[in-house]
Structure 1
Amino acid sequence: MERVEDLLAQPFGTLPDLIRHHAATQPDKLAITDGDAEATYARLDAAMDRAAAALRRDGTVQGQAVATVSYPSVAQAIIFLAALRAGAIAAPIQPSATAEQIAGMIGDSGANLVFLDAANAAALKDETLAARVVMLEELEAWLPPEGDKPEPVEIAPLDGFNIIYSSGTTGIPKGIVQSHAMRWQHLSRNTNAGFDTAVTLLATPLYSNTTLVSFLPTLAWGGTVVLMKKFDAHRYLELAERYRATHTMLVPVQYQRIMALPDFDRFDLSAFRFKTCTSAPFKAELKRDILNRWPGKLVEYYGMTEGGASFILIADEHPDKLHTVGQLSPGHEALLLDENDQPVAPGEMGEIVGRSPTMMTGYHKREGATREAEYYDAEGNRFIRHGDVGRLDEDGFLILMDRKKDMIISGGFNIYPSDLEAVLAQHPAVADCTVVGVPSDEWGETPVGFYVPRGGASASAEEVRTAVNDKLGKTQRLSKLYVADELPRSAIGKVLKRELRDRLAAGEFQGESA
């Protein structure tokens, strides 16, 4: 029988076929567990067959989406993978969205079946869903008898693999369609990551590409996935020690909470070989702390679900570049553009656009939005707009400034919130912080800060604001600073700046300014 390395060296293949291979070569190896349920490769392969047969039985056709709304679980993973085996498209939907948005995403996906766990079924009880509901807790009863298999389907490289809905606070998020060819590139390039012997501990949801970039290659190469249904820093360390975790993908706020635990150093994390991070700004000081106290490589990825270009920082090999997000991935291209879509001079800031073998097909049923996300150079090459502003240093390492939409234009000057946040974060009274732009009659926009006080800190908001403004340029100074119990974040750790603006406009922070 062929080795998995040889299968992944082929120009194209599919993840369900790789799982079939592992079921034949290592049937009793644990493929996936969520703490309550688990599946060996033989059981996972058989469950995928039964679920794929049931999808076809219940009317799901090739190329149609199969939706799930669930916290991470073995059952959700089975449906995700069974959809692929049936020739359908996996559409995991974020439970953190509003009930109205979730219903809208289910309808937008075109799914005829949606699989819910009990918690999310309760949250959606007042919504009319455009798909038949199957409860994940009752999955066994829905499945056909043991041994049932679906009719084989032929999957072409450009067939849809998954739809990932982008985060958003208003309206229905955009569905990002990724193909089997794109995912095969992703799986096959992980030749040196050690996923074949990995125990990958994941604490982010399956609807996020952040999770899938570790979840999918672990199963493709024949490792073991340990899913956390809900992140808890202390529980994470307990699971890491119990399962002898070797790999993980965490977002910066999760690393921050783990490293802040007083008893972090008592846990045995010596099995770790490969830790990764993506999705949100990753402070240099936090990277340095992880390098000093947590065994194994630390790799930061910068990119986007839509594709574009990816940058990689191997932190332990470049300790002098921790303020960057690394260098371009092999085979990827990036340009920095000015406001007229012209490339900027070396070392200057610009909007990042990128291209690679792993770009999205487009936004699901949104041709206009797809066109807005694209940039074509003079030779007609297609790039994806990242929406971020940055600059390249003399060694080709990318220094990120901000999201383009978050840049503040005050009195005609461009102000980057990340510059202000870096100064605000250094104040000893500040545990967490962010800066947003709000409308101003005098300046057009003006920067406003929000911070979570550090425990035991006695400084007032006025004292913090004064100290911070003394270190900022005249055009950068915070016009107001508000105290918050916590900053609103998405499930993958991004600060929801629009929510803060909305709450401020609604008067929620009135009286708390400096």
Structure 2
Amino acid sequence: MGETMPSAELLLGSDFANMTDLVRAHASERPDKPAIFCGEDSLSYAELDRAVDRVAAALQRDGGRVGTVVAILGANSIAHVLVFLGALRAGCVPAPLATSATADQLAGMVCDSAAPIIFIDPDYEALALPTRKVRLDRLACWLAPEGALPQPVSVTAQHPFNLIYSSGTTGTPKGVVQPHAMRWFHIARAPAGFDRAVTLVATPLYSNTTLVSILPTLGWGGTVVLMRRFDPRAFLIEAERHRATVTMLVPVQYQRIMALPDFDSFDLSSFQLKTCSSAPFSAALKADILARWPGLLVEYYGMTEGGGTTILVCNAHPGKLATVGTPLPGHDIRIIGEDDRELPCGGIGEVVGRSPAMMSGYHGRDEVTDEASWSDAHGSRYIRHGDIGRFDADGFLTLIDRKKDLIISGGFNVYPSDLEAALLLHPGVEDCAVIGVPSEQWGEAPAGFFVGRADPSELLAWLNARMGKTQRLADLRLIDEIPRNAIGKILKRELRARYIA
């Protein structure tokens, strides 16, 4: 097998390669190179490849076939990564589920995916899930014997790579089917030198944000340093210990790291690339990172579903930090109005995008897939991003707000992000969120929640004195914490339920 195996260089230079074939090539060429660290545990590429074989062989032994969904529910761990890659090698479709989901949501996702098996942390053993459970901490007892090899499988670029469930911040989680072609695009676009990357991963493995950084690292033969859970000081300690060169974090994580009083005492000179995605990233926070944290800072804007992606190299465009950058090469992003017609440059409307990295569709939900699509005059399919934005004359995209969060008060459009940005200018506000609530007078009115030291009534008067008449908050409440999911998105649905209750 080793004599006929294509080299990693040949695979990476091809039009398409299977992710686990890349792992096998690296294991053959650099068997002792560290592939993954997690705490005090680690695997070389040779060890990783052998373990992935055992997972794949065990899945096939238990009836796993090409296209079979394999669910995973657990914290970040090497075992989690082994099941994910082993499922791919067996031709199966890994479906990492959010540990932040409710029991009912998890049961719904398992039913929707039709996964015949789920790998779980012991914390979830008591959940009533309609499938066979295998504990991740007892994976060794389930694995095929040492030296076992799976039956070879063949997959195409359009074969499902994985099934990712949406965060559910605005409703029931939907299964996003991401094809091998989409993941191959993520691997192929990695910058030069990624074979030497030491990527520090502090976001959960069920997140697309995480997979977009971990898969290219392993695909190119770099090293992944996996944190079991995020802690800002522990992150900096791990970065120093492993001389991390790359990381992908969400804005709330950057915010917590930069707020540490002793941040500047850590040696972060090894960093070459820091990326960010998944939630609004303030210009002020970007500027602080540029000033105090070595290496490039790159923001990506896109969706789990695919569509179009923009990139902002913050170091190169310090005057554009309030934007999310320009479309990647090969990505077509447009702005459409309420009548679904394309708007000219400067027009404010819904963002739609098209690229080589697009989902096949929502699992088992063709109607919802159609609703999320838009076609241009030539019949080319775009994905609706659900965001409101506009392009400036230089081609940089500014996001205004989420379309579903738009408040229509007395017939006027009110963007919560405008109010949130204004609230954060007050020294007594640490975090905030604005939602639309029912109003007898206006139909809908903006109401706010904040974390901080200010008096709510005084802060309300301070804000409303600075806003236009149609933007003024009807109510403002002090709470202990703004609810967010694991990748930093505000759970406005929870805030609406709390307000109404």
TM-score range, shorter chain: over 0.9
2:14 and 2:222 map into 1 onto residues whose CA distance is 20
Structure-2 residue corresponding to 1:323: 322
Q: What amino acid sits opposite 2:28 in the alignment? A: A
* SS of residue in 1 equivalent to 2:176: strand
Offset of residue 229 of structure 1: 1.2
Structure-1 residue corresponding to 2:47: 43
Q: What amino acid sits opposite 1:165 in the alignment? A: Y
Matched, 1:70 2:99: no
- Relative to structure 1, the CA distance from residue 172 to residue 468 in structure 2 (aligned partners, 3 Å threshold; closer, same or farther) is closer
> Deviations 1:370-411 (Å, cap 9, x if unpaired)?
000011111000000000000011101000000101000000
Q: What amino acid sits opposite 1:92 in the alignment? A: P
2:455 to 452, 460, 463: 460
* SS of residue in 2 equivalent to 1:311: strand
Matched, 1:355 2:354: yes
Structure-2 residue corresponding to 1:94: 98
Structure-2 residue corresponding to 1:134: 134
Offset of residue 111 of structure 1: 1.1
2:310 and 2:157 map into 1 onto residues whose CA distance is 25
2:31 to 22, 27, 33: 27
Offset of residue 449 of structure 1: 0.9
TM-score (norm 1): 0.95
Structure-1 residue corresponding to 2:470: 475
1:17 to 12, 18, 21: 21
Structure-1 residue corresponding to 2:440: 441
Q: Note the aligned Cα RMSD (angstroms).
A: 1.2
Offset of residue 144 of structure 1: 1.6
Contact conserved, 2:169 with 2:489, CA < 8 A, in 1?
A: no
1:67 and 1:259 map into 2 onto residues whose CA distance is 35
Contact conserved, 1:101 with 1:171, CA < 8 A, in 2?
A: no
> Deviations 1:91-128 (Å, cap 9, x if unpaired)?
0000100011111111211111100011232xxx141x
Structure-1 residue corresponding to 2:397: 398
- Relative to structure 1, the CA distance from residue 290 to residue 170 in structure 2 (aligned partners, 3 Å threshold; closer, same or farther) is closer
2:468 and 2:350 map into 1 onto residues whose CA distance is 23
Structure-1 residue corresponding to 2:173: 173
- Relative to structure 1, the CA distance from residue 430 to residue 195 in structure 2 (aligned partners, 3 Å threshold; closer, same or farther) is same
Matched, 1:289 2:279: no
- Relative to structure 1, the CA distance from residue 445 to residue 256 in structure 2 (aligned partners, 3 Å threshold; closer, same or farther) is same
2:500 to 496, 505, 508: 505
Q: What amino acid sits opposite 1:135 in the alignment? A: R
* SS of residue in 2 equivalent to 1:325: coil
Where does structure 1 lack aligned partners over 5 or more consecutive residues? 507-514
Matched, 1:280 2:279: yes
Structure-2 residue corresponding to 1:511: none
1:325 and 1:46 map into 2 onto residues whose CA distance is 41
Q: What amino acid sits opposite 2:100 in the alignment? A: S
Structure-2 residue corresponding to 1:153: 153
2:347 and 2:130 map into 1 onto residues whose CA distance is 49
Mapping for residues 201-280 of structure 1, pairs under 5 Å? 201-280=200-279
> Deviations 1:451-497 (Å, cap 9, x if unpaired)?
100xxx4x311111111111111110111110010100000000101
* SS of residue in 1 equivalent to 2:280: coil
1:112 to 112, 116, 120: 116
Mapping for residues 275-424 of structure 1, pairs under 5 Å? 275-424=274-423
* SS of residue in 1 equivalent to 2:300: strand
Matched, 1:496 2:491: yes
Matched, 1:81 2:80: no
Offset of residue 434 of structure 1: 1.1
Where does structure 2 lack aligned partners over 5 or more consecutive residues? none
2:367 and 2:277 map into 1 onto residues whose CA distance is 28
6-15 or 245-254, which deviates more:
6-15
* SS of residue in 2 equivalent to 1:245: coil
Please list every run of at least 4 consecutive aligned residues from structure 1 whose deviation after the TM superposition is greater than 6 angstroms: none
Contact conserved, 1:104 with 1:172, CA < 8 A, in 2?
A: no
1-10 or 146-155, which deviates more:
1-10
Q: What amino acid sits opposite 1:119 in the alignment? A: D
Structure-2 residue corresponding to 1:450: 449
TM-score (norm 2): 0.98
1:259 and 1:6 map into 2 onto residues whose CA distance is 41
1:172 and 1:89 map into 2 onto residues whose CA distance is 21
> Deviations 1:213-237 (Å, cap 9, x if unpaired)?
1000000000111111111101111
- Relative to structure 1, the CA distance from residue 431 to residue 304 in structure 2 (aligned partners, 3 Å threshold; closer, same or farther) is same
Q: What amino acid sits opposite 1:359 in the alignment? A: M
Aligned-pair identity in percent equals 59
Structure-2 residue corresponding to 1:188: 188
Contact conserved, 1:95 with 1:120, CA < 8 A, in 2?
A: no
Contact conserved, 1:409 with 1:445, CA < 8 A, in 2?
A: yes
> Deviations 1:107-156 (Å, cap 9, x if unpaired)?
211111100011232xxx141x2221001111111112110000101111
1:53 to 44, 57, 60: 57
Q: What amino acid sits opposite 1:368 in the alignment? A: E
Offset of residue 164 of structure 1: 0.3
1:305 and 1:36 map into 2 onto residues whose CA distance is 32
Matched residues, number: 497
